[in-house]
Each structure stands twice: as structure tokens, then as C-alpha cells.
Chain A
Amino acid sequence: MTNENLDNQLDNSGEPTPEYFMETLPGQDRYVAPLDETPLQDVDSVDESAPAASMWADAWRTLRRNPLFIISGIVILFIIIVAIAPGLFTKQDPNSCDLANSLSPASNGHPFGYDMQGCDVYTRVVYGTRTSLSVGVLSTLLVVFVGTLIGAVAGFFGGWVDAVLSRITDIFFALPMLLGAIVVLQMFKTSKSIWKVVLVLALFGWVGVCRIARSAVLEAKNLEFNTASTALGSTPTRNLFRHILPNSLAPIIVIGTTSLASYIVAEATLSFLGVGLPTTTVSWGGDISSAQVNLQTDPLVLFYPSAALAITVLAFIMMGDAVKDALDPKSRTA
């Protein structure tokens, strides 16, 4: 017997007590509030005073009030400026090094001192910003594009398309990104370039975005406004581009922001291992790697690029948290 049937067969003992006019008990006398105290309003009237706000405007309003967003926003803005115009912050060339200055302490005009090769650490930290940021941004863009495309196709078409794509996703998911990246980059070790690092990171990174995009599209696909649209005469493809994709963007943006941080870390790790960027490119990871040797004697040479890296990553992770709070009020972290 099904549950529903049981519901219908459950006992029906006891009729509701019949009503009797009884004398009222103390405290239960007839009471009618004076009308001027609770003026009657129109049924369901529109509040025209509040400013109109789309979901994005709403999210922006929430963001603006979030200190996490303000702090990380300022830091990221600063990082972007440094990346675009490092010349504003230092007049020196990061590659003009003098072995005579090797491991010299900080001096006037060289606040962070010199590394083993005798390069100015401050200048190298400033110039390293562009490398990290461009790898992060480019990888993220590529990953978000590829991941969304594959995820949306899988989620929207379903059936065997979804089955095939999901299995491919599983395969890439089972392969740790760093391991895969090292294997591939090792093959290119004679011809390193920033593009190869970006491509390899994207090759092993798209799975995360793809899974999120797929479930977001699946969820948006089942929302009632799509049925409503179809009943109005809209076609499935039109629904996909006009309704489903715009409504799936929020989680993709969130994972994009957090991914940016993880790609910056990944690039630094690869450069640290010596398989990432060419040694001619100034990068924090590479500098940390070369400062490693002198950890015991000169920890500060290692400290500065590490700190720059950590601050950048922290800023993007905080930004990711703030964006997540704004776009998905259900999962507030604070």
C-alpha cells in the first residue's frame, strides 16, 4: 500500500467539537483595535519608493557594503596597477644584476636588498607581479570559457551527450592538476613560455568549472520560467541563450574568481619546481626557488616574493568569498 493510500485510509475518529456560545473568559472579551492605530493599506500595493534593482545591482549593493570586498578590491586594484606599469614603482631593470651586490642587505633605494645573483629584490618583486597576474587571468579566462561551454552542452542536451562528456570529465578529474602539468611541461622544458603554462593549466583545470557549469545549467533548465517561455513560443536554443545561460552565470563567476588565485599558486609552484616559466621571465615562483638555497642565512630574500605572492592570492580568495556572499546569499561565510 502506498503512503498516499494510507493517508486516505487513516482513521477518522472524532468530529470537531461543536461550537457553543459561551460566556467569555477574562482577557478574552471582544476587542477591536482603534482604526487610527493600524491604518488599512491597499491590498498588495507596489512600493514605488525603493530604487529598481536587478539581480546584479542587488549583488553590487551587497558587495559594496562588505569590508572583505573593499579591502580585497583595493589590494587587487593596486596589484593591477603594478602589473600594468611596473615602471611607476621602480626605475631599475629587474635583469640588470651585479654579482658584486650578491646578498647585500637593504640599502637606500634598494629596500629589500639583493639576491644571490646581485639583482635588486624589490625590482624583481615589482616586475614579477605582471607574470603572476597574466598567467592567472589568462588561465582563468580560458578555463571559464572551455569549462562553461562543455558543461553547458552536457547539462543542456543531457542523454548520451551528457554521459560521454561526464565520463571525459571524470577522467580529467582523476588526474591531479599539478602532476599532469609537470608531466606535460617537462616535455617542453627546452621551449618554455608563458603561453604553454597557461594552456597546460587550462588543460587540467577546466574540469572544475565544467562540473559547476553543468549543474548550474541543469538547475536553471528545470526552472519554471523556461517552461513558461516555451509555452510562449520560444525555442529550446533561444531558452538556452536568453534564460538558462544568464541564470547560470553566478556560480561560474564565483568559481572563476577563486580559480584565479589557484592558478597563480599553480604557476608559482611550477616555476618553483623549475618546469614553469623560462628563467629569463621574472617570476615570484622562480625567485622563491632560487632563494631557497640561502634559506638558512638570508631568509628575507625568500620572504619578499613569498609575501607578494601570498598577498595577491589572499586578495583574490577574499574577493571570491565576497562575490560568493553577494551572488549566493545562502552560503554566507561570515
Chain B
Amino acid sequence: MTDNSTIDSQAQMLAMQKAHGPLLEVKDLAVDFTTDTGKPVHAVRSSSFTVYPGQWVAIVGESGSGKSTSAMAVLGLLPGTGHVVGGSIKLDGQEIANAKQKEFDKLRGTKMGLVPQDPMSNLNPVWRIGSQVKEALKANNMDVNHEKRSALAKALAGEDAAVKLKGNDDETFLGSKELPALMDEAKKALTAAGVTGDAFDKAVARFESEWVPGSETRWRVADDLIKAGVKDDDAWYLAKKYVIGSSMDDRIAGLLSEAGLPDAATRARQFPHEFSGGMRQRALIAIGLACRPDLLIADEPTSALDVTVQKRILDHLHYLTDSLGTAVLFITHDLGLAAERAQHIVVMYKGQVVESGPSLEVLQHPQHPYTKRLVAAAPSLASQRIISAKERGEDADALLDHKIADENELEKSEHIITVEHLTKEFKLPRKKEMFKAVDDVSFSVKRGTTLAIVGESGSGKSTVANMVLHLLEPTSGKVFYEGRDTSTFKAKDLLGFRRHVQPVFQNPYGSLDPMYSIFRSIEEPLRIHKIGDQKWRTNRVKELLDMVEMPQSVMGRYPNELSGGQRQRIAIARAMALDPDVIVCDEAVSALDVLVQDQVLHLLNDLQAEKGLSYLFITHDLAVVRQIADEVVVMQHGKLVEHATTDEVFDHPKMQYTQDLLDAIPGGKLKLGLD
């Protein structure tokens, strides 16, 4: 396949872009939503950005910054009461800010495509994947025999022979019916051309992997044959004879396999619920690109996926859009990801563009205070552990020593939590064999330090957390707290254990009872353990609110009035109420915006320094680990694959899987110019 990402083609692209002019030009865009009471809410105000053909432009911002709203305004798909109240949106010079839905129908699909955020809710559960791809083709009257290349791809093809596009006539797809015959003839042609042995096998293997019906075009078949040693004339003869257009089903399978879905013809007949998140996202990419739009709007296309899957999908999307010449408007909350993927960055804050420019420049020389703040907080860009203890004039090592000295006096072990050969099996519905969620995992948490368990979804990390918390009975293996086997605990011991080992859960919306006021929520553990009288408890709650830097006035409020980060701080205050020794944080910062996440991490770190807490920190995000953990345990498929200090894991990962995880950290390799 072609790969035009060379310096030459870069320069050529630039010239092309200049000649063509902007593909999308948004000027002073303003979008309002009308509330129930009739008051307008300004979601986007005076925002401008420009996208050129073939370019990746990223809009970065936290939730509620107006980044998605801007993108949806471009597509004419503003939700509910949203409407454009000012400014202009020009697509290829055509004003569409206030276009009618009928006009948008013509633009969507062929001119603009969308890859939406949540792969779970964006495919209709009642239709087969293939038929949902087909809808896109049918809606735009796409000729499935021929491919429509984007304007940029055509322009590039016209000017430079190195880019091997040969006009519409040659962009005829290979059909599955002709494939066997073509393959036979190709083998004969190879033999005729005198290709034998290893070279022959290699060529055939290449044909088999490259010649995907519904995706491979005539000129590429010819090209493959020529490269394998077949004479030009013979190659073109074969290509013209056997590549004569594909059926609708071939094209659908072709599109899906272009998006990186293996065994696409079978997969196309399946329903969305039979797909994993990553596969659904690939199907959505296939849909978004089905009609070869000039502009693809990718609205946080991978934020719901595991990091390694995320990286693979974005790499593939990048490759696809490059080869098709598609421009991408990439919406993300992750500055590192934006800088890594896009040439141009637009930073939005509270509905406005606060800074924009070439991505590396913005990243290395942020000028607006908000951008500076973002750069400083981005976990993926941070290179070391937060050092709040040092800021207090205490050395982290000294703190540790101090703790250990204490222990010697009390003759306690150095390890506060020890896990030995922990295994958990679940019975899967309608299957005979047991599923091992956690398989023989051992580690221990040193007093006063943080141990992070890292893994992707399904790695069993949360199951470990629940077993440590004694919320789940292990199938085998033991959990020791202060050297005592927790499985032997009677009701009274268990209550004592609960007092010392506290959880903070992932979902800040779910872990606080919506019917409880903030005061009652924080007071609950004190009540359960019957500590103090009403007055004492009230004071204690006030103290705890101060500790997590929340105003005391929130006591009378309810969780639904607080933001995710605020709720998480309340959850931390609740966990701190009983003065615990250990806090188990199960993805405690995963659902939070970058800045808020940074704030909560600092809070956790400060508390650790102050109270000598030990943390068991469960996360999927290695970037966060670097900021908070002393030791790291990497888990995959229920097994412990690597256990080392944080620095060791980051600098000298021993296992390939750990390396993959590290590589997947977006923007991890970018250099920053922070003062």
C-alpha cells in the first residue's frame, strides 16, 4: 500500500493545501442552548478555527468546554435546543452555519463524516453491523464498484506519479467472486515470470493478505503483481480481466477490514452486542469513512477504550486518513494525545478558544494561563512522582525511615498489606469451565507507600482490590493485614479491619448515596462505628471537609449538586473519617478531567505525607502511576506480569506487555518546554 508520509510529500501537501484553501473555516461561532426556563446558555462563544485538507486538527478542552458542541455545529447535529446564533461555518467555501437539514443530508457522509465517542451507544443494537455500514453507502448513492477518492487524494495523484492513484477508471474494486480465479492466474503468471521458491511463497502470501475483496483496487492489484516480478503488460491484463467491481457485501467487508476488523465478511453479519468495544469503534470508523468524506470529525473516538487498543486504533485511523487524504477534526480532552496526533491544536475553555497554533509550539510554549495549567497537569506529560512531601520540607525517604522506626517500636511488620497466591474464579453463565479472574497473585504494600496495580479492563485488578477490601471471598490464597490473615476475622475483627482499611471507588456518581446530604455521607462511617456524639461528629465532618479543601457550606448539599471531582473529594473525606491506615483507590481518578484529576492526586499525596497512609492504587493509566506510586504491579489476564519500583518499570520494563502499555501513553515521548 502507499505511504505518502515522507518529507517530500509533506512539502507537496503543504503546497496543495495552500492552493486548495481551507476545507473548514469556522469564524466567531456562537452556539446557545435554551433551558427549561427559556434562558439561553452560551455553550460556545466567538470561536474560530480552520482545517485544511488532509490535516489533523485537534480541539482540546475539559468536559463542558464546548469542544463537542462546536464539532456538532459543523455537522448540523446539535442536540436538543442547541442552535447556532452567530458566526460562520464554511465547508469548502460554502456557508453552512444555518443550512437546512436537507442540505446537511447531502453534505454528511460524502463531505463530512463522524466517528462518535461512545462505541457502546452509537451502533443500533437491532441491526447487523454490515447493514449499518450499508446504510451509509446507500444514503449517499455510493457506487460500490468504484471508489470515490477525496479531492486531496485526487489532486495529489494528478501532480505526482509517486502517489500511485490513477484516476477514477482504475479505482475499481476486486470482487470476492473473481478472487480465486485471479489468485490462480497470478500464481501462473508468477511461475511464467520465473519467480520460484521463497520469492514465490512470499509473493503469494502478500497477495493473500493484501487482496481484500471490496477494498483492493485494480491498480493496486496490478502494482502488486508488477512488484512481484510479473511483466507490466501481463499484470495489467490480469488486473483488468479479474478486477471488475465488487458486490455490496464485498464492499462492506472491505470497508470493515480497512478499519482493521479481521474476518470482516463474517463479522459484518453479527450484531453490535457480539462485538467488543474496540471492534465496535472500528466498525464506527468504517462507517465514518465509508463514503470517503473530505473531513472526518472524530469526537473522542477512543476515550472509552483501553490504552493499548486506543493506540492501535488511532494509529490505524491515522494511516487510513493519510492514504485517503481525509482531514480530521479530532476532539479530545487529552493534550498529550492531541499534540501527538495533530499538526494544529485549538484549546477551548468555557466555550471559547483560548489558544491555538501548531501543536508542538502550543505544547512547548503555552501562553494562555489555562493552557499552561493544562500542560502542567497532563499526566501523560509528567515525568515524575508528585513531591508534595518534599514541599513540606520533609524528604520522602526520611518520612519512610521515620515510619519504619515507629514500626520497630511496635514490632509491626514493614508490610501493612500482604497478598499471597490470591486466586479468584467465577462461574460463567452457560459454560462449564470456571473463569479465572485473578490467577495466583502475590504482592505486598509497604507501610506509608503507594503500590499501584496497573492493567487493562479484564485484567482482574479490581477483583484484587475487592478481595483486599474483604468484599469478595478469594477462591484460594490469603490477604494479610498487619500480618493477620483476614479470612480468619470474626465479625468484630472485621469491623476493626474496616475501620483501618478504607476504599475510594471509581465512580464518583455512584459511590455516594444520592439521598444522603454531604454531612450524612461523611458522618456515616462514624455512626456505623459509633464514634463520638452528635456535636463531636459535626466538628469532625468540618475538619474532614477542610482536609479535602472543600468549603464547610457543602455539608447541607447533596451529591447531585457537586461535580465529579468534588464528589471524589467527599468520598476521600468519608474514607478519612476513621483515620485509616490503608486506602484502596479503585480507579479513583479515572473519570475526572485532567485538571481535576491532578488536584485529587495532589490531595491524595498530601494526605499520605501528612498521615503516613498506605495506598493500594488501582488504575488503567500508567501516566497516573508515575505521579503517585512507589511500586507498580502490572496485571494482564488475571496474572501478575511485572512487579518493580515505579522508576524501574518506566525506565527498564522487563516484559513486552509493560512496554506496550508505556508506548500507549499518549504524548509520552513529546518533549516539553516548561519553565
Contact = CB atoms under 8 A, between A and B. Distances in A.
Question: Is chain B found bound to chain A in the same assembly?
Answer: yes
Interface of A: 3-4, 6-33, 35, 37-38, 40-41, 43-44, 46-48, 50, 52-55, 58, 65, 223-225, 227-234, 238, 243, 246-247
Contact of B315 (A7, A14, A224, A246): A14
A227 B359 contact: no
B252 to A, nearest CB: 18
Nearest to B322: A17
B590 to A, nearest CB: 14
A29 B316 CA distance: 29
Given A16-B318, A28-B356, A243-B513, 7 more contacts: A4-B276, A21-B360, A27-B22, A46-B553, A46-B554, A52-B556, A233-B498
Nearest to B657: A8
User: Of B343, B550, B596, which is in contact with the most chain A CB atoms at under 10 Å from its CB?
Assistant: B343
A232 B574 contact: yes
A22 B343 contact: yes
B507 A224 contact: yes
Sorted nearest first, the 8 A-B pairs with minimum C-beta distance are A14-B319, A3-B276, A224-B510, A27-B50, A30-B357, A233-B498, A7-B278, A232-B525
Given A16-B318, A31-B357, A55 B562 contact: no
Contacts of B319: 13-14
5 contacts: A12-B312, A31-B356, A58-B560, A231-B502, A232-B502
Nearest to A16: B318
Given A55-B515, A233-B525, A44 B356 contact: no
B418 to A, nearest CB: 19
Contact of A247 (B278, B458, B513, B578): B513
Given A25-B17, A55-B560, A225-B513, A7 B309 contact: yes
B503 A231 contact: yes
Contacts of A3: 274-276, 278-279
B323 to A, nearest CB: 8
A38 B36 CA distance: 26
Given A21-B360, A65-B36, A223-B510, A233 B315 contact: no
B231 interface: no
A10 B312 contact: yes
Interface stretch (B176-184, B238-246, B361-369, B476-484): B361-369
Nearest to A9: B262
B496 to A, nearest CB: 9
Nearest to B260: A10
B22 A26 contact: yes
B413 interface: no
Contact of B352 (A10, A11, A38, A230): A38
A28 to B, nearest CB: 5
B511 interface: yes
Contact of A11 (B276, B316, B373, B495): B316
B346 to A, nearest CB: 9
B566 to A, nearest CB: 6
Among B512, B514, B566, which residue has the most Cβ atoms of chain A within 10 A?
B514
Interface residues of B, number: 96
Contact of A52 (B52, B525, B558, B595): B558
Contacts of A228: 503, 505, 511-512, 571, 574
B558 A55 contact: yes
B414 interface: no
A194 B271 CA distance: 55
A233 B578 CA distance: 11
Contact of B550 (A23, A46, A247): A46
Q: Max chain B CB contacts within 10 Å: which of A18, A46, A247?
A: A46
Contact of B52 (A9, A25, A44): A25
Nearest to B341: A16
A44 B596 contact: yes
Contacts of B362: 30
A247 B563 contact: no
A54 B558 contact: yes
Contact of B515 (A23, A26, A247): A247
Interface in B39-58: 48, 50, 52
Contacts of A11: 260, 316
A31 B343 contact: no
Contacts of B502: 231-232
Nearest to B309: A7
A46 B525 contact: no
A55 B513 CA distance: 11
Interface string B506-546: 01001111110100000011001100000000000000000
Contacts of B389: none
B517 A54 contact: yes
Interface in B567-584: 571, 574, 578
Nearest to A238: B528
Given A19-B359, A52-B556, A233-B495, A31 B561 contact: no
B291 to A, nearest CB: 22
Contact of A231 (B469, B510, B553, B560): B469
A20 B517 CA distance: 54
B226 interface: no
B349 interface: yes
Contact of A35 (B261, B340, B368, B550): B368
B276 A19 contact: no
Contacts of B565: 43-44
Nearest to B514: A55
B25 interface: yes
A43 B556 contact: no
Contact of B557 (A7, A14, A52, A246): A52
A38 B370 contact: yes
A224 B233 CA distance: 68
A15 B669 CA distance: 14
B18 interface: yes
A258 to B, nearest CB: 23
A53 B559 CA distance: 10
Contacts of A8: 308-309
Contacts of A65: 36
A30 B510 contact: no
Contact of A246 (B50, B262, B343, B515): B515
Nearest to B1: A13
Interface string B1-40: 1010101001000100110001001000000000010000
A233 B499 contact: yes
B369 A40 contact: yes
B327 to A, nearest CB: 12
B381 interface: no
Contacts of A18: 5
Nearest to B526: A232
Contacts of B553: 46, 48
Interface in B461-495: 469, 471, 494-495
Contact of B25 (A27, A44, A227): A27
A229 B524 contact: yes
A46 to B, nearest CB: 6
Interface string B351-391: 01111111111100001111001000000000000000000
A82 to B, nearest CB: 34
Contact of A19 (B343, B494, B558, B596): B343
Contact of B562 (A9, A46, A58, A229): A46
Contacts of A238: 528
Nearest to B7: A20
Nearest to B506: A224
Contact of A22 (B14, B458, B511): B14
Contact of B358 (A14, A15, A21): A21
Nearest to B508: A224
Contacts of A40: 349, 369-370, 373
A10 B279 CA distance: 10
Given A7-B279, A44-B566, A48-B551, A16 B528 contact: no
B350 interface: yes
B344 interface: yes
A170 B663 CA distance: 56
B98 interface: no
